[in-house]
């Protein structure tokens, strides 16, 4: 006898139905994800296309403006603008340019000296050179500008320190010591002795030495009695430079102190010989 097939159970049908339903749901979910992704890509492509078009337009506009600007610059370069009509007027403008540059340079030098950015000896030398150049250059403009203040006012220069230096006619380190010779000599001797005594007492700190060294150099530069080849004009600035590069609490070494002591004695003895010869 053949076997009789039993009908499918109700549980089996329900399992197959659930599996099909899940597959359908997963398929629709994938379709939704693909649709969202496709939409996002289309929006991105549209944005990039619009951005490219906008950039092309702006770059084209910028290129046109640059081309026009280049043509304008070429035109200005091709067209030489002259301030003068003859050699005399050209010489006049050259002289005014020289005076302008000398005054501004002198102003910068004065400010640098005030801020201790330049050594006194270097300041004195450069200031004297600038003053000599100014005298020669401004002499060519005296018919148009009786005083330097007139020139400064016309060309709106802000240089009070330079004007003061020009009116005095000498660097601030080279003062007129007539009538003050005795005071300057006494001050120089006092500073020499004070520095040598400090070194003998083993005082080595920068903040205890630098002020006296700076004052000594300043008073030496002010005295017309002291010639340019005086030994102290080389040795004292050297020690001031060494001290300037130290912090306030730093000390010079024993070897440096010994050398400094000897240099001071040499300078002091030569200073006394100058006084005797004078």
pLDDT per residue as tens digits for the range 223-260: 877 887 888 988 999 999 999 999 989 999 999 999 99
Domain annotation covers residue 210: yes
Residues in a beta bridge with 205 = 251
Report the CATH number at residue 223.
1.20.120.1130
Model pTM score: 0.42
Same domain membership, residue 271 and residue 209: yes
Domain annotation covers residue 11: no
Same domain membership, residue 149 and residue 119: yes
Domain annotation covers residue 7: no
Same domain membership, residue 131 and residue 55: no
pLDDT bracket for residue 196 (50, 70, 90): very high
Point out the domain boundary residue: 81, 103, 118: 81
Please tell me the distance from the alpha carbon of residue 2 to that of residue 177, in angstroms, as a whole number. Answer: 146
Tens-digit pLDDT profile for residues 123-174: 888 888 888 888 888 887 877 888 888 888 888 889 898 988 888 777 887 6
Report the CATH number at residue 108.
1.20.1440.200
Point out the domain boundary residue: 114, 140, 168: 168
State residue 233's pLDDT score: 87
Domain annotation covers residue 267: yes
- Whether residue 1 has pLDDT greater than 50: no
State residue 275's pLDDT score: 81
Domain annotation covers residue 271: yes
Tens-digit pLDDT profile for residues 19-48: 878 888 888 888 888 888 888 899 888 888
For residues 106 and 127, the answer to whether their CB atoms sit within 8 Å is yes
Please tell me the distance from the alpha carbon of residue 112 to that of residue 235, in angstroms, as a whole number. Answer: 22
For residues 256 and 235, the answer to whether their CB atoms sit within 8 Å is no
Same domain membership, residue 155 and residue 242: no
Domain of residue 248: give its range. 181-277
Please tell me the distance from the alpha carbon of residue 24 to that of residue 135, in angstroms, as a whole number. Answer: 103
Tell me the torsion sign for CA atoms 21, 25, 31, 34.
Answer: negative
Tens-digit pLDDT profile for residues 85-126: 677 777 778 888 889 999 999 999 999 988 888 888 888 888
Total structural domains in the chain?
Answer: 3
């Amino acid at each position: 006898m053949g076997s009789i097939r039993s009908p499918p159970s109700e549980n089996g049908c329900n399992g197959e139905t659930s599996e099909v339903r899940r597959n359908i749901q997963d398929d629709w979910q994938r379709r939704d994800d693909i649709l969202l992704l496709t939409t996002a890509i289309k929006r991105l492509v549209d944005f990039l296309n619009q951005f490219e078009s906008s950039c092309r337009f702006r770059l084209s506009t910028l290129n046109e403006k640059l081309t026009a600007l280049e043509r304008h610059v070429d035109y200005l370069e091709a067209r030489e603008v002259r301030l003068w009509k003859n050699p005399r007027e050209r010489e006049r403008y050259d002289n005014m340019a020289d005076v302008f540059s000398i005054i501004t340079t002198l102003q910068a030098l004065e400010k640098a000296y005030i801020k201790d950015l330049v050594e006194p000896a270097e300041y004195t030398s450069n200031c004297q050179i600038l003053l000599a150049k100014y005298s020669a250059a401004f002499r060519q403009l005296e018919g148009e500008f009786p005083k330097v203040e007139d020139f400064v006012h016309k060309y709106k220069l802000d240089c009070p320190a330079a004007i003061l230096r020009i009116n005095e006619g000498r660097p601030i380190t080279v003062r007129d010591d007539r009538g003050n010779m005795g005071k300057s000599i006494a001050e120089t001797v006092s500073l020499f002795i004070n520095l040598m005594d400090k070194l003998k007492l083993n005082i080595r700190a920068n903040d205890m030495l630098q002020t006296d060294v700076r004052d000594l150099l300043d008073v030496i530069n002010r005295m017309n009695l002291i010639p340019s080849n005086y030994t102290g004009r080389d040795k004292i600035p050297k020690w001031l430079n060494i001290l300037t590069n130290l912090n306030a609490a730093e000390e010079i070494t024993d070897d440096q102190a010994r050398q400094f002591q000897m240099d001071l004695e040499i300078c002091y003895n030569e200073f006394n010989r100058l006084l005797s010869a004078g």
